Structure 1
Amino acid sequence: MGMKSKFKNFFFVDEEEEYVEEYIEEQKEEPAQPRTNKKQPVQKQNVVSLQSVQKSSKMVLLEPRMYAEAQDIADHLKSHRAVVVNLQRINKDQAKRIVDFLSGTVYAIGGDIQRVGTDIFLCTPDNIEVSGNITDFIQED
């Protein structure tokens, strides 16, 4: 090999075969569907709200002295807390108004209200299930 061939080999590489890799993507075969401009409905997935999964449930015991405290009770229910309301120390008219207000509140949040004693009510939001019942022999005045 002469100097000329060495120079030629150095700068001009002999023709080499190029090796080209071809990647083939695997596609799932789907049945042929006519294409339209309408958007397909998205399938719903099983999603659990973190708000409904609470580490500890709380129960609040309240004994309102006036009707204005009914909104505080409703706020506890909206915060997903069960509330036991003792209405024995309030006059009957205001107690009835509080029960009416709380009945509307538990209906709006999908909860429940139950009488558990003389002028004592258990109000629960939708994340708390109450089973069983208490029979009472309440003698009304």
Structure 2
Amino acid sequence: MSIKNKIKTFFTMDDEYEYMEETEEIDAMDKPAGQSKTQSPNKVVNLTSMQHPTSKVVLCEPRTYNEAQEIADNIVGRRAVVINLQRVDHQQAKRIVDFLSGTVYAVNGDIQKLGSETFLCTPDNVNVSGSISESLASSEDEFQKGW
């Protein structure tokens, strides 16, 4: 065989095609008898699906109790909501928190106090880790307010 033929056979696709057949046969032998090639799990993850977040956080600063329904719609829509109640009088703020507590309970979510007049409402698809500790002075002020 000449060098020209050796180089030609080295670079031809026939050898690569046969190699692919051999690996498929080996893979078929390694699998259990009941499992076919089409049943193998797909371990490829599409990176574009990982780039788009699936949940959102909504910031709300209601001024009246009437805006509580809009906040509840966000929670039911599986979005986390941070509520700042500084612009609402104390009685309406209590009513809003009570209403949102019921909404969060209905969707198996969670409500957490972040500050003196700030709350985080999360549905069941959002996990919150950690906690915020309050200072002794601020907890005494809240106790006097009735929170």
Task: Tell me the TM-score normalized by structure 1.
Answer: 0.60
Match among 94, 102, 109 for residue 107 of structure 2 = 109
Where in structure 2 are the equivalents of 1:80-91 lying within 5 Å?
A: 80-91=78-89
How far, CA to CA, are the matches of 1:116 and 1:88 in structure 2? 13
Within a 5 Å distance, the mapping from 1:30-69 to structure 2 comes to 55-69=53-67
Paired-residue identity, %: 61
Distance 1:89 1:136 in 2: 21
CA shift for structure 1 position 57: 1.4
RMSD: 1.8
Can you list the C-alpha shifts for 1:5-50, whole angstroms capped at 9, x where unaligned?
Answer: xxxxxxxxxxxxxxxxxxxxxxxxxxxxxxxxxxxxxxxxxxxxxx
Q: Relative to total residues, which structure has the larger helix share, 1 or 2?
A: 2
Amino acid at match of 2:55: S
Q: Does the residue aligned with 2:114 lie in a helix, a strand or coil?
A: strand
Structure 1 unaligned spans of 5+: 1-53
Alignment equivalent of 1:130, drawn from 128, 137, 146: 128
Aligned partner of 2:72: which letter? A
Instruction: Give the drift of 1:55.
Output: 3.9
Larger mean Cα displacement after TM superposition, 56-65 or 131-140: 131-140
Counterpart for residue 71 of structure 2: 73
Q: Partners of 2:101 and 2:77 in 1: how far apart?
A: 16
Determine the C-alpha separation between the residues in 1 that align with 2:104 and 2:133.
Answer: 22
1:20-31 correspondence runs (5 A): none
Runs of 4+ off more than 4 Å: none
Q: Give secondary structure in 2 for the equivalent of 1:61.
A: strand
How many Å apart are 1:112 and its aligned residue? 0.2
Whole-angstrom distance in 1 between the partners of 2:76 and 2:134:
29
Amino acid at match of 2:124: D
Map 1:8-27 onto structure 2 (within 5 A).
none
